[in-house]
């Protein structure tokens, strides 16, 4: 296992949060899943994550999540870092999944703030510390207050970074740019900060971020990776241009709850059967029509008609 310092250096760039494809009957479509992972890596994504928000983890059983993780792990085959999402609203499930990630050989794990039950900051500290202490693999915290209804505060992040050597970074889906600046100030400039907000992917690189974990990479992996590549190469103008070029696509993909629009797009591209598990569903026909127009404008090859 690489050291945590080495992991910080390796876990950089565009880490694709791959969707979980389903068949028409809502069963797992693992063969298509493997193809998606190969496409991501071949398209330049610097890492792979699964069963995060884009992977509909709350619609999967724990056993299904473990199967998805195992399948992804084998498909990645060490070509890029593999960082599955192992968080849950249930502490014991999060513990089980994070231990499973370690046992199967994952490079690290991404653990979301528990959703729905709104724990206080001390409870969040205990939750994450207990999980981090139970494993040796690197942990990436995942803060997404729009989904969880509670923000992981800067002071709590800094305390976890200080007390848990294997907590090496955080995916921030907090739109408050002051907050993310203070994360690096308080947790340390060497703490890996990843943007989970599409319009903050470039700005977070500018303040010292390690990369991004962007749902848009499900549809356009190459340009999302190129933002990081350009920045890392010192081509600031190119990174800025890519940032603005991607805005229209970013906007359309979040006009409905993620990953509904991304799955519709992948369906139009002929890469998946665009199925979400209830209570989620594909976007309205009006939004799908708008999506198709945007995809065509981006030069993305489409194969299937709009689904009703």
Binding residue ranges for pyruvate: 54, 213
**CA angle at residue 65 from 59 to 69, to 5 degrees?**
140
Distance (Å, whole) CA 109 – CA 156: 19
Whether 171 sits among the annotated catalytic residues: the reply is: yes
Residues whose CB is less than 8 angstroms from the CB of residue 237 and which lie 6 or more positions away in sequence, other chains included: none
What is the distance, to the nearest Å, from the Cα of residue 300 to the centroid of all Cα atoms in its chain?
22
Residue in this structure with the two tokens 């999506």, named with its chain if needed:
291
List the beta strands (DSSP E) in the chain: 13-18, 47-50, 109-112, 139-143, 167-172, 192-195, 211-212
Single out the catalytic residue among 8, 34, 35, 142: 142
| Number of Cα atoms under 13 Å in the Cβ half of residue 277 | 16
Side by side, which strands form the sheet with 167-172?
47-50, 13-18, 211-212, 192-195, 167-172, 139-143, 109-112
Closest C-alpha among 161, 100, 92 to residue 130? 92
Single out the catalytic residue among 171, 202, 263, 271: 171
Which residues are known catalytic residues? Answer: 142, 171
């Amino acid at each position: 296992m690489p050291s945590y310092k080495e992991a910080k250096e390796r876990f950089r760039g565009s880490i694709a949060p791959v969707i979980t494809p389903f068949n028409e009957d809502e069963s797992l479509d693992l063969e298509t899943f493997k193809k998606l992972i190969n496409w991501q890596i071949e398209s330049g994504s610097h890492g792979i994550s699964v069963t995060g928000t884009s992977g509909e983890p709350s619609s999967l059983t724990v056993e299904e999540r473990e199967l998805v993780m195992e399948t992804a792990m084998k498909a990645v085959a060490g070509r890029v870092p593999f960082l599955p999402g192992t968080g849950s609203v249930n502490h014991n499930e999060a513990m089980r999944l994070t231990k499973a990630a370690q046992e199967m050989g994952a490079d690290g794990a991404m653990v979301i703030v528990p959703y729905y039950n709104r724990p206080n900051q001390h409870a969040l500290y205990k939750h994450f510390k207990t999980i981090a202490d139970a494993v040796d693999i690197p942990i990436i915290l995942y803060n997404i207050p729009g989904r969880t209804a509670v923000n992981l505060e800067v002071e709590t992040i800094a305390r976890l970074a200080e007390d848990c050597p294997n907590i090496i970074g955080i995916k921030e889906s907090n739109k408050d740019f002051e907050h993310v600046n203070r994360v690096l100030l308080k947790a340390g400039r060497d703490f890996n900060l990843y943007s989970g907000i599409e319009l903050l992917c470039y700005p977070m690189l500018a303040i010292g971020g390690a990369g991004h974990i962007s749902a848009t990479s499900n549809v356009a992996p190459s340009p999302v990776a190129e933002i990081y590549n350009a920045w890392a190469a010192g081509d600031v103008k190119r990174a800025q241009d890519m940032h603005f070029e991607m805005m229209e696509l970013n906007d359309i993909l979040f006009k409905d709850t993620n990953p509904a629009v991304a799955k519709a797009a992948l369906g139009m591209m002929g890469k998946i059967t665009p199925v979400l598990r209830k209570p989620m569903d594909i976007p309205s026909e009006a939004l799908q029509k708008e999506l198709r127009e945007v995809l065509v404008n981006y030069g993305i090859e489409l194969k299937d008609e709009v689904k009703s």
